[in-house]
Chain A
Amino acid sequence: MKLRNQLKAALRSLGKNKMRTFLTMLGIIIGVASVIAMLAIGQGSKESIQKQIANLGTNLLTVFPSASMTGGVRMEAGSSVKLTMDDYKAVSSRCPAVLYSTPTVRTSGQLIAGGQNWRTTVWGVYPDYFNIRNLEIEKGAAFTLNDDRTATKVCVIGQTVNKYLFGEGQDPTGKIIRINKIPFQVIGLIATKGQNAWGQDQDDIVIAPFNTVQVRMMTVAYIQSIMLSATSEKMIPEATDEVTQVLKERHRLGPSEDPDFSIRSQADISSAATATSSILTALLASIASISLLVGGIGIMNIMLVSVTERTREIGIRMGVGARGRDVLLQFLIEALMISLIGGLLGVGLGIIASGVIASIMSWPVTITIQSIVLSFMFSTVIGIFFGWYPARKAASLNPIDALRYE
């Protein structure tokens, strides 16, 4: 039998029992829709986590000196003063896997501008810091290496600082603030970064040239940490190894000795968070696919009823020359049509449902083409899988028995 006639016949016989066909389809519609919605929620949360992590800085590595030990008492990490400017220079010049790098010092400072004051952390860094942390300058400009060399008293401030000192939306560039009584000229305003994944306000910050903070404010010789970015995400382990090697060599430590510094990378946090959200997505999708499976069983059930009901029709068709495979195909096409049409409607419903979830629950939701293709294919496979047994049963009927069936 020609495919076109098969399709026509299948459509007609599905049309004969509209209510039944629709209810059977509903199982697949709900199944596909929930798979798409669940995958969209999973993907959305994954992306929002990744975005937050990327917000912290791209391929960020931070080198801290280890905890200092005084008479057997360990102090907190970073309390040692063993990182020096020479360490930084060695790292920045001898590690090919490192793209940007900066030494950092930070201190807290009381800021005063006009009648307002505010207390926050003041960072002393190289201009590379803006690249490492993905900071954008909204107004004005960042300082340069030249400002650092001459220890110029300029700074760039975050939105929160601007809000408390000058008022929200004001342009602070050119204004003078006093940090711990030292006057600084504000030359730039950082674009809003928002909170990081741990709820810390990333806009509550003042950034000034490294030398200015180290020499003029803190009057120390050490550096507190080295921040750097690897050339790519894949190069993070490579960069870690290079930095470890260079620093161990400079600190005269053997390869088997414990380093007196530690390197923290964003990759650990990122992969842990991504793994968590992947597990969440898989969990949601597998629960949703169970409903798709139940829908498939519904198809099988109805097709079995249909085969029994239409035994005589099968007998007539075989009597006039339908082969087993013609009958098999006829019932398989009917099952497939239910699941394909159900799948299509399900995709539509899934997209609508995702939109509703996004707007009512205000969850991040991302529908991917893959999730649509995947769930549509899954529903097709279910149609074939659960349609096969009833179709097989119909095809294996004996024509004479089928014709006699009452």
Chain B
Amino acid sequence: MTTKRSRFWRSAATVAAGSLILGACGSAEGDESGGTGGSGDPGSEATEAGEGVAGGSAVFAVDSPFLGFDPNVTAAAQDARVLRQVFDSLLYLDDEGGLQPWLATEWTVSDDGLEYTFTVRDDVTFTDGTPFDATAICFNLDRIKDPASASIYAIGLIGPYESCTAGDPTTAVVTMSTPYAPFLNNLTSPFMGINSPTAAAAAEPADYTLAPVGSGPFSIVSYTPNDRVELVRNDDYAWAPGNATHTGAAYLENLTFQIIPDPTVRIGSVRNGTVNVGSNVPETDVAAIEGDPNLAFLSQQQSGAPYQLHFNASRAPFDELAVREAARAAMDIDSAVNALYLGVFDRAWGPLAPTTLAYDPSVEGSFSFDADEAGRLLDEAGWVLGSDGVRTRDGERLRITYLEGSPNREKRQDVATFLAANLEAVGFEVETQFQQVAPLQAQSQAGDYDIMGLSLVAVDPNVLYQMYDPRFIPSPGRSGFNLSHTDDDAVTGLVNTGQQQLEPDARAEIYVDAQADVIEQVRSVAIYVPTYTLAVNGLQGIRFDAEGYPILYDASLTQ
């Protein structure tokens, strides 16, 4: 239980809407100084943390454009990679998943779980010169809640937030309308970075999102859409979180995030030294990068909900447990993951990724690939194999629609093609459909699919509430992540109690039961653990935060 517990508090965040479109973020393996985790090579010289050399410029190449940098508003994981450098949060999560002070030095929760009292630092200044105090916290929370801000992601992190009062400059009291256990974890997210109230109030939202002001180790100096965002060091920075490997200002004087969509060009640019870091490394390049003494490969598993296929139980044939079990047994997930991701992504087993708090390792190996068993289950359920290889029952064909998004993020369309062949081999008739985001959402809301893939970035297991509470079953005009159309008191009860249970061990128990239920009922079948990968040249000391976003504060050039 100790392991489980230590993982427990490592969580934050509900679901990243934007990450759904824009790709992975990493998570939680560590705040350790080596900065690697997952399947990476922690010993690689180029990233060994040590005494950094101050000065110089670094370029970090990402794979897709940014949407904006107002943490209160934006929802894209890509944006969070910049936000983490520019904004500080109230709290951070340490290696063991324990909450630690950052801008807030102390915090208490009332017994009824409705009132949070924060004591905050009095020596912090935003990069526009505004001093940070308790009113800044209230300003940010109110700004997120204001419908005029149209916050997409942060609003989900504050849950039933009701109000905030700053009694004196160092004390903020936050009130919830109902107990909300994920709240403190969520405060560690870059999307809960604290804006300068002066700057945010002075600018039009459309302008502010391009040049927001935080108190972080870097500040944004210029942004060229579809090209790059340039950051400069905050020389006055003296409030780094306790897990940083140094204090004071960041080592790098200038830090640029450049958008290079093509993977060959992105990684080629790392190789020839034009950029220092390239994200989203193609699996086929990993071995060569690891073998190159000048380069380092870092990877960080993303916590939350790993990529999983949700079986739509609201209509035939997946309204029948035996058919769902048969479909799961028919899929050779190990082979699919090995063939497509070459060991860079691990296979996933349950509705939570291994680095998520309350992850239950006993889900691993709890079912196996067995095409014969799949056939038996379908035979028993009365689905008879026809001469054309498709099963029928009472004249009804065993037909399913497998829906996946386009473009082909993380080869998910290839996964679909692979697994559809597995399903067809045991007598399913599979129609795979790949849709752009807007039609995909329309079809999802119409419930017109039997299998649909999804992964969500989160550090808190409350992500299960988003996936298994009937309130989030998508319907026309209403979006939600309950893609399995689960409406079952047992699991709904678990995910709702889990959200309100403030005692960590008891909370973890609840989520262990919920994970078991998902496996038992075959509500979804996990495929792989999304992993954020970096190729690095000439930069050391990159760390990842609890949600797996890179931290460049401790990073320095190797020569």
| A and B co-occur in one complex | no
B-to-A contact residues, CB < 8 Å? none
A-to-B contact residues, CB < 8 Å? none
